[in-house]
Amino acid sequence: EIVSWLKKDWNTTIVRAAMGVEDPGGYIENKNGNKNRIKIIVEAAISEGIYVIIDWHSHHAEDYENEAIEFFQEMATLYGETDHVIYELYNEPLDISWSNTIKPYALAVTAAIREIDPDNLIVVGTPEWSQRIDLAASDPIVEYQNIAYTLHFYTIYHHQWLRDRASSALQSGIPIFVTEWGSIGYSLVDPETNKWMDWCFANKVIHCNWAVNDKEEEWSIVIPGASTTGGWDDNDLTEAGKLAKNIISNWPKVVH
């Protein structure tokens, strides 16, 4: 119901299904229960004709390479023949080596996916919470096609310096995918969000706002207790939600 509502009311063209991995209650503790939750979102997106990112939402994915391979093999087998599915192999690596840790992990998981699904987009996280896009640009994956690299930003922390880094990476020839971004959250006035949206629009970079949550968090789009089946009005939306809806609903017109 939520996926349907986001498409209908927000003009959403993509959703991201974030599979928590090592945290309490995540995939490692409850594989089948969490896989079933992921399948609901993926199948809803396919039914609605929008894209869906299957996100291995971890800060330590290299420690769970075998589990990631098993998971993505199943997802590729189930959904690899559809055009809607995007595989995100590593949400946010910490301050670890791109070339020695993240890239080898990504190659191993990509190889497993490509044996089943030869062409759907794969997105690979980058060091320092997916901000060091420059490190991936200097040593990209060349063994496989249709690979993009993750950039995350939160407007209270990440300003022109990160846009400059990302622009340089784009100029080197690698594709960038913003699988997660967040606004200041407590105000509809967020000049950095405007700058980031202008940058995404100018560079044709797709972006997904964090997050479809109702918990007490600055970036949740709905207030605690909002309907879990959609049908929200403005009173159900947080300030972050109002801002995100305005941007998403009116895209590609950049909203100020």
Residue 226's pLDDT is 97
pLDDT for 189:
75
- What was the pLDDT predicted at 185? 74
pLDDT per residue as tens digits for the range 57-71: 999 999 999 999 999
- pLDDT value of residue 138: 98
Within 10 Å of residue 31's Cβ, how many Cβ atoms?
A: 14
Tell me 235's DSSP state: G
pLDDT at 124 over 90: yes
Which pLDDT score is estimated for 255? 55
Tokens of 58: 């971890």
- Mean pLDDT, rounded, for 235-248: 95
The per-residue pLDDT for range 9-30, each reduced to its tens digit, is: 999 999 999 999 999 999 999 9
Convert the pLDDT of each residue in 145-190 to its tens digit.
999 999 999 999 999 999 999 999 999 999 999 999 999 877 777 8
pLDDT tens track for 180-239: 999 987 777 789 999 999 999 999 999 999 999 999 999 999 999 999 999 999 999 999
Lookup result for tokens 């670890």: 96
Residue 254 has pLDDT above 70, yes or no: no
User: Which residue shows structure tokens 């199948």?
Assistant: 43
pLDDT average, residue stretch 69-86: 98
- pLDDT value at position 256? 52
In this prediction, residues 111-120 reach a mean pLDDT of 98
Q: What is the pLDDT of residue 43?
A: 98
Which residues are the active-site residues? 92, 180
Using a pLDDT cut of 70, give the percent of the chain over it. Answer: 98
**b/e per residue 127-163 (b: at least 16 CB within 10 A):** bebbbbbbbbbeebbeeeeebbbbbbbbbeebeeebb
Distances (CA, A) of 234 to 95, 110, 214, 221: 39, 41, 14, 11
Q: How many CA atoms lie within 13 A of 39 on its CB side?
A: 13
pLDDT level of residue 252 (50, 70, 90 thresholds): confident
In the structure encoding, which two tokens stand for residue 68, read together? 């990631």
In the prediction, which pLDDT does 106 show?
98
Q: Where are the alpha helices (DSSP H) in 16-126?
A: 31-48, 65-79, 103-114
Look over the chain and give the mean of its residue pLDDT values, rounded to a whole number: 96
Is the pLDDT at 55 greater than 90, yes or no? yes
Mean of pLDDT values over 71-80: 98
> Length of the chain, please?
256
Report the distance separating Cα 228 and Cα 222, nearest Å. Answer: 10
CA–CA dist 71, 113 (Å, integer): 10
Whether 132 and 96 have beta carbons less than 8 Å apart is answered as: no
